Amino acid sequence: MLVDNGETTLLIDTGVGSEISVGGNLLRQLVEVGYPAETIDMVFLTHGHPDHIGGCTDINGMLVFENARYLMGKKEYEFWTSSENLASLGEMMGRFARKNLSAIQEHVQLLEGDEEVLPGVKALKAFGHTPGHLGLEIRSQGQMLLNLADVALHPLHLEYPEWYAKVDIQPERMVATRHDLLEQAAKIGAKVLLFHFDFPSIGYVMQDGDTWRWRSVIE
């Protein structure tokens, strides 16, 4: 997701990058809509999984968004820069974290969560999928969008919010976070972005008895 308020361009997550055969199209797509890499002022990383940080660097380990300030949760950054933690997560996750987070270490601002990063853009604590996972509340012209990243990975997680995936590092906390944020989204009628949902990944969380269901903006 790209946010442009007329003064600052904010990119939210960078995808998996070009290091593996799936993905690597972000830069081309940004150019197509008029935002080459050098025009990005800020990069907000919701969490440290490879498919969210992999596009921070190119195949040679050089920063792609070299003019940007990077924002990441303090708990999240500390988790993914711990050698002990990385050793327990497998080779691929460790490789992506070392490559991309070491590259941004001189450019990163660490957030506690629940704080404004730009006028109308506020970080949200969304811990559980990873220990310091953050979302964003974005307000503009009387409307709100909640970028909840990986709070839910599939529409089934709205119908069955206690279900979790192997990549959910703190399942119990993630389930509690999911309940809180989905309830909030349904109550206020905000648009919601969930990173892994089908394109365009934006829709509404609709109350359905004791749980919820998903309605895409293109339905």
Would you list the domain boundaries of the chain? 2-216
Give pLDDT, residue 18: 80
Under the banding of pLDDT at 50, 70 and 90, the label for residue 20 is confident
- The predicted-structure confidence for 79-136, as pLDDT tens digits, reads as follows 999 999 999 998 999 999 999 999 999 999 999 999 999 999 999 999 999 999 999 9
For residue 17, give the amino acid letter. Answer: G
Give pLDDT, residue 44: 98
| CATH match for 2-216 among 3.90.600.10, 3.40.50.2000, 3.90.76.10, 3.60.15.10 | 3.60.15.10
Determine what percent of the chain falls in helix, strand and coil, rounding each to the nearest 5.
30, 25, 45
Under the banding of pLDDT at 50, 70 and 90, the label for residue 5 is very high
pTM: 0.96
- pLDDT, average across residues 41-56: 98
Give pLDDT, residue 103: 97
> How many whole angstroms separate alpha carbon 134 and alpha carbon 110?
11
- Bigger pLDDT: 18 or 194? 194
- pLDDT, average across residues 181-203: 97
- Count of CB atoms situated within 10 Å of the CB of 97: 23
Give pLDDT, residue 219: 85
Under the banding of pLDDT at 50, 70 and 90, the label for residue 21 is confident
In the predicted structure, residue 56 carries a pLDDT above the cut 90: yes
In the predicted structure, residue 34 carries a pLDDT above the cut 90: yes
In the predicted structure, residue 19 carries a pLDDT above the cut 80: no
DSSP-derived letter for residue 68 is: P
> How many whole angstroms separate alpha carbon 38 and alpha carbon 8?
12
Q: How many helices (H) and strands (E) does the chain have?
A: 7, 12
